[in-house]
């Protein structure tokens, strides 16, 4: 953790890692560091912290750029006016800025134009020149997760990783970023090693916990995952990212058919009816409930309040990943008008859009939204027809493998309900090959064999699922 001694021993007008800052006030630079630390650790309110700094130092350009940069990760239209105000404040200070600050400014400018990929390139140029710019690294890595750039999540850290060590403040967060990039690129052993190294330095590092949770999910280590997550839950804090870690915990219980535990997690940690609610929290809630529907669990009235939270954003067309989760709630709660509004808005948007989200919407977002309508309307063949051609392109939607698996699972369940048992068996076999310790995957194999009339194979698959649950 950053110490006061480290802050005082840094260069006069640079941050604690030696990255230059044009504003000549040590107190402002220390305040920025506190805000960055909050964003990295998902502790406290980074925006409130930097607002307090800016109230005292309104000409602190890097403070305005941090605020704008951190708000990009919300992927919500509600923050755009604030981002534009931050850019306006930064613009009046351009004459006295350095090249690092100019790069951050240009990156956020690209972002608000909708060119997320150009924003990443601008931030990457900053990081290449200043490899200790932890803010640039953070924003690039998180944005690559949002955009589904799987190799980039790893490689952006690899380009600077050898220049970092434990003597540089924030090294534990760099380990966390690198470990997650390695996990998404299926280098599970090294990913877990680096994540646990990060936790040894800082036990309350939620992003390192996140990597381990992904490794255990992808490797099908459900029982170990539950123990690990429960052991670390006290260190997560109460941010929306903590809710995401509870979502991961719910996936382990779901795989083991421990449905009461899944609902307990939802009702205790993901139910936002008594909270202000932000999209990150509501994404996880919708994704978990849809999975529970896929396994035939009655979710009661939980969809109703969740759909009400999403309905004001039905026509945002800002980020396809948000749109598909909104659609999950609309179809599940039977909100026909909200479905029509979302689809119409996206169709109008695609007529002349050329920003980064257009391709995400056209190739994956809109087909999945329509497939969800098919599924809810029991047109399972139509659902299969929409999803089968895109199942290997889903990374273009953004998010992680674990999050995007909702598409593959919906496709498999639709194939089973459409009585396309040859296809269902192929898809189920594909899933057991990737994660053979999943009871849910073996249940699907059994249902496919049963549909094909092979009772012996169906019984063997069922026995495999039961043995996994008993273990």
Residue 195 sits at the vertex; the CA angle it makes with 192 and 196, to the nearest 5 degrees, is 85
Q: Which CATH number fits domain 419-470: 3.30.870.10, 3.40.50.10380, 1.25.40.10, 3.30.1490.190?
A: 1.25.40.10
Q: How many CB atoms lie within 10 A of CB 462?
A: 18
pLDDT in tens, 190-230: 999 999 999 999 999 999 999 999 999 999 999 999 999 99
As a whole number of angstroms, the distance between CA 218 and CA 238 comes to 25
DSSP β-bridge partners for residue 14: 20
3-state secondary structure of 89: helix
Cβ neighbourhood burial of 12 (10 Å; 0-12, 13-18, 19+):
exposed
pTM of the model: 0.93
Tokens for 239?
């941010």
pLDDT of residue 7: 44
Region of 18 on the Ramachandran plot (φ > 0 left; ψ -120 to 50 alpha; else beta): left
pLDDT of residue 12: 52
How many residues does the structure list for the chain?
A: 471
Closest by Cα among 148, 417, 403, 382 to 284: 403
Q: Can you count the helices (H) and strands (E) in the chain?
A: 26, 0
pLDDT of residue 276: 63
Q: What is the mean pLDDT of each run of 10 residues along the chain (471 residues)?
A: 44 85 96 98 95 98 98 90 97 96 98 94 98 98 96 98 97 98 98 98 96 96 96 89 95 95 95 67 93 95 93 90 96 97 95 90 96 98 97 94 96 98 98 94 98 98 94 74
Residue 234 sits at the vertex; the CA angle it makes with 228 and 235, to the nearest 5 degrees, is 90
3-state helix, strand, coil in the chain (%, to 5): 75, 0, 25
- We find that the CATH architecture of domain 1-148 is Alpha Horseshoe (1.25)
Let me know: does 152 contact 144? Beta carbons within 8 Å: yes
For the chain, give every domain's residue range. Answer: 1-148, 419-470
As a whole number of angstroms, the distance between CA 123 and CA 139 comes to 8
Let me know: does 90 contact 65? Beta carbons within 8 Å: yes
pLDDT of residue 437: 92
pLDDT of residue 10: 45
Q: How many CB atoms lie within 10 A of CB 471?
A: 10
Q: What is the largest CA-CA distance in the chain?
A: 77
The reply to whether domains 1-148 and 419-470 share a CATH topology is yes
Q: Which helix (H) or strand (E) holds 123?
A: helix 116-129
């Amino acid at each position: 953790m950053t110490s006061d001694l480290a802050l005082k021993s840094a260069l006069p007008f640079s941050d604690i890692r030696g990255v230059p800052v044009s504003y000549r006030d040590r107190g402002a630079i220390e305040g920025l560091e506190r805000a960055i630390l909050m964003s990295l650790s998902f502790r406290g309110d980074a925006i409130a912290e930097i607002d307090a700094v800016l109230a005292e130092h309104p000409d602190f350009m890097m403070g305005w750029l941090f605020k704008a940069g951190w708000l990009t990760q919300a992927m919500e239209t509600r923050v755009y006016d604030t981002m534009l105000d931050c850019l306006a404040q930064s613009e009046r200070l351009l004459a006295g800025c350095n090249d690092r600050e100019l790069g951050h400014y240009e990156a956020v400018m690209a972002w608000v134009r909708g060119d997320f990929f150009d924003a990443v390139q601008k931030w990457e140029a900053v990081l290449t020149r200043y490899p200790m710019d932890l803010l640039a690294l953070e924003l690039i890595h998180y944005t690559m997760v949002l955009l589904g750039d799987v190799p980039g999540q790893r490689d952006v850290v690899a380009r600077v990783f050898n220049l970092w060590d434990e003597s540089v403040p924030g090294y534990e967060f760099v380990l966390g970023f690198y470990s997650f990039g390695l996990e998404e690129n299926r280098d599970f052993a090294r990913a877990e090693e680096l994540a646990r190294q990060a936790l040894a330095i800082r036990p309350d590092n939620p992003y390192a916990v996140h990597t381990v949770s992904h490794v255990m999910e992808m490797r099908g280590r459900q029982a170990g995952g539950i123990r690990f997550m429960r052991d670390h839950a006290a260190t997560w804090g109460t941010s929306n990212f903590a809710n995401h870690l509870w979502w991961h915990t719910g996936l382990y219980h779901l795989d083991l058919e421990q449905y009461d535990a899944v609902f307990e997690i939802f009702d205790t940690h993901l139910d936002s009816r008594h909270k202000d609610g932000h999209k990150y929290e509501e994404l996880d809630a919708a994704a978990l409930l849809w999975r529970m529907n896929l396994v035939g669990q009655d979710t009661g009235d939980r969809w109703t309040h969740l759909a009400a939270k999403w309905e004001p954003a039905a026509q945002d067309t800002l980020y396809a990943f948000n749109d598909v989760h909104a659609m999950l709630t609309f179809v599940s709660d039977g909100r026909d008008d909200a479905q029509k509004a979302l689809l119409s808005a996206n169709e109008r948007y695609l007529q002349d859009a050329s920003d980064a989200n257009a391709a995400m919407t056209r190739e994956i977002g809109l087909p999945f939204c329509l497939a969800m309508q098919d599924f809810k309307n029991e047109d399972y063949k139509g659902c299969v027809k929409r999803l089968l051609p895109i199942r290997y392109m889903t990374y273009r939607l953004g998010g992680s493998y674990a999050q995007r698996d909702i598409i593959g699972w919906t496709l498999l369940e639709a194939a089973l309900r459409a009585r396309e048992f040859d296809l269902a068996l192929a898809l189920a076999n594909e899933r057991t090959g990737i994660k053979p310790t999943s009871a849910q995957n073996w249940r699907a194999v059994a249902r496919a064999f049963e549909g094909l009339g092979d009772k012996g194979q169906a019984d063997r698959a069922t026995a495999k699922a039961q043995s996994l649950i008993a273990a």
